[in-house]
Amino acid sequence: MSARVLVIEDAEAIGAAVSSALRESGYEVQHRLDGRQLEADLGRFRPDLVVLDVMLPGRDGFQLLEVVRRSSGAGVVMLTARDGVPDRLRGLSSGADDYVGKPFVLAELVARVSAVLRRLGRTPSTVQVGDLVVDADAGVVLRADKAIELTATELRLLVYLAAQRGRVVSKTQILTAVWGYEDYDPNLVEVHVSAVRRKIEEHGSRLVHTVRGLGYVLRAEE
């Protein structure tokens, strides 16, 4: 089951973008514009992590952080335009797991969310697809028990494909998740997918499949 992330962000466009990026990374996401129903969400949705804006209408992020800490074991990533040291220290000393200031790159926020979830043991760092094993934490890739050397970018790409295993992902989704941009040349994706495919398929059958007109999928053939 995918990790569940609750996003509380009153700027609708930012909340929608964050939610979309997290969904593309394989998380189950709900977005709220304020914290009025936080207690209910903690009970019904049971998030593994809360992305929590500080400047919110009604109860602010620090007050909501106290609620999360009293009622849940969820991780918390504070998200705010405030970049002063006192606010960061207040959030961290109150129990936040990480603190991201605006403006930010979506890929960095997703990476921080993933890191907190791994530290909390809410997501497995190792994914297996057929005889391919990808350990995101250790940076290790094995195919048929043989180690495969990848560049840092190739590893990020394969980790993303592994997290989305069985799902077709577009070049735009890959660009956003791996590079943090949507407007790079799509050829960048093609080049790196080809390199990853070549390296992992030296030791076995095809795992990275091209779905014409849609994108790519990591899938073991039956």
Q: What is the pLDDT of residues 17-26, one digit of tens each?
A: 999 988 877 7
Cβ neighbours, 10 Å, residue 67: 15
pTM for the model:
0.62
Q: What is the pLDDT of residues 96-134, one digit of tens each?
A: 899 888 888 888 888 889 889 888 888 766 788 989 999
CATH code of the region 126-218? 1.10.10.10
pLDDT at residue number 7:
98
Whether 88 contacts 99, CB under 8 Å: yes
Q: Where in the chain is the domain with CATH 3.40.50.2300?
A: 4-120
Q: Where in the chain is the domain with CATH 1.10.10.10?
A: 126-218
Evaluate whether the domain defined by 4-120 bears CATH number 3.30.1360.30. Answer: no
Residue 132 tokens, joined: 């391919």
Task: State how far the Cα of 137 lies from the Cα of 124, in Å rounded to an integer.
Answer: 9
Residue 193: C-alpha distances to residues 4, 100, 162, 221 (Å): 28, 30, 13, 18
